[in-house]
Amino acid sequence: MQGLTAVILTGGPGTRLQPLTNDRPKSVLPVLNKPFMEHFIAYLRQYGIEDIILTLSYLPDVIREYLGDGSRYGVRLTYYLEEEPLGTAGAVKNAEAYLDNTFFVLNGDIFTDMDLGDMLAFHREKKSKATISLAWVDDPSAFGVVETDGDGRVQRFIEKPPLAEATTNWINAGTYILEPGVLEHIPSNTHYMFEKGLYPHLLDTGAPVYGYPYRGYWLDMGTPEKYFSLNVDLLSSKIKSPLVSIQRQNGIYCSRDAVVHPSAVVTAPVVIDSGSRIGRGVNIRGPVVIGSGCQMEDGASIENAVLWNNVNVGAGARLEQCIISGDINIDNNQDVVNCIVTPSETVPLFRT
Beta bridge partners of 294: none
Which 8-state DSSP code applies to residue 36? H
Nearest 10 degrees: Cα torsion 274, 279, 280, 283: -80
CATH number, residue 256: 2.160.10.10
Contacts of 263 (CB under 8 A, 6+ apart): 280, 281
| Full pLDDT tens readout for the chain, 352 residues | 778 999 999 987 777 898 999 989 999 999 999 999 999 999 999 999 999 999 998 999 999 999 999 999 999 999 999 888 899 999 999 999 999 999 999 999 999 999 999 999 999 999 999 999 999 999 888 888 999 999 999 999 988 888 888 889 999 999 999 999 999 999 999 999 999 999 999 999 999 999 999 999 999 998 999 999 999 999 988 998 888 765 566 789 999 999 999 999 999 999 999 999 999 999 999 999 999 999 999 999 999 999 999 999 999 999 999 999 999 999 999 999 999 999 999 999 987 6
Are residues 215 and 76 part of one domain? yes
**48 C-beta neighbours (distance < 10 Å), count:** 12
48 with 167, same domain: the answer is: yes
198 and 82 in a common domain: yes
Query: Within a domain: residue 237?
Result: no
Domain membership of residue 262 as a residue range: 246-348
Q: How many angstroms separate the CA atoms of 179 and 22, rounded?
A: 36
Q: What is the pLDDT of residue 213?
A: 97
Predicted pLDDT at 247:
52
Q: Does 220 lie in the same domain as 87? A: yes
Structural domains in the chain (count): 2
CATH at 215: 3.90.550.10
pTM, two decimals, is 0.93
Q: Return the exposure string of 141-156: e unless at least 16 CB atoms fall within 10 Å of the residue's CB, then b.
A: eebbbbebeeebebee
